[in-house]
Chains A and B, each alone.
Chain A
Amino acid sequence: MATLLVVLMILVVLGFVGYPLLQGIRELEAPALPDLETQEAYADVEDLELDFRIGKLDAEEYETLRCSVTPEADDEIERRVRALRAQRKQKRAARTEAAAPGRCAQCGASLDPDDLFCSRCGAAVSQERVCRHCGTRYDEGDRFCVKCGKPL
């Protein structure tokens, strides 16, 4: 009984340890270094900021330290802000495109002037009166757009 258990234990352990050798693994993935430096730089800036607010540093000291100590953080923050701005721009562009005159605000499919629902996604079409050529609003009863002159 004891021998059986010992043999079983040895087999299980050898199997577990030896398995990767038989299995074959693809080349080690290149270590993706995350934004470790960024996080540290952030912590630096946060600390400085708090020290400044608390009054441990005056404005001048704060500025010198802020510049000398954390150029990495500044670069990083700037990069992030730029990335975020670009992202926002893209999103806005996508939204304006989707909301273009004569198109469904939901999916961007083209609409007929008197459609109440989108023929592609089924979204309710806004009841607001907007020129389908240029997007200018018009009042009830108007027959031509006041901006582009095209028939409504």
Chain B
Amino acid sequence: MNPIMSLPVLATVLFCIGLLVVIFKKNTIMILIGLELMLNSANLNLIAFSSYRADADGQLLILFILIVAVCEAAVGLAIALRVYRYYQTSIPENISELKETAS
């Protein structure tokens, strides 16, 4: 078996971990980390498939994606910070301004 083909498996595992982190972690920072994890698992897939096809296009695309991801992370963190400043919490569940009071 081509060692490169084990990379998608790693990517799948990473993706699942990221997804579980996004779903189950309470803190916004941790959710952002989970998102980052899922993004990078996709990047890993791109790397794996581009080297399998001996084509550099995919790896070039990753460079762009990384930059975009950094911007995304910065924006996400900034939003998280603003939310924390405003609501005095970074846990999304506790932000319930629009929710009707429990009857």
Q: Are A and B subunits of one complex?
A: no
Residues of A within 8 A of B (CB): none
Residues of B within 8 A of A (CB): none
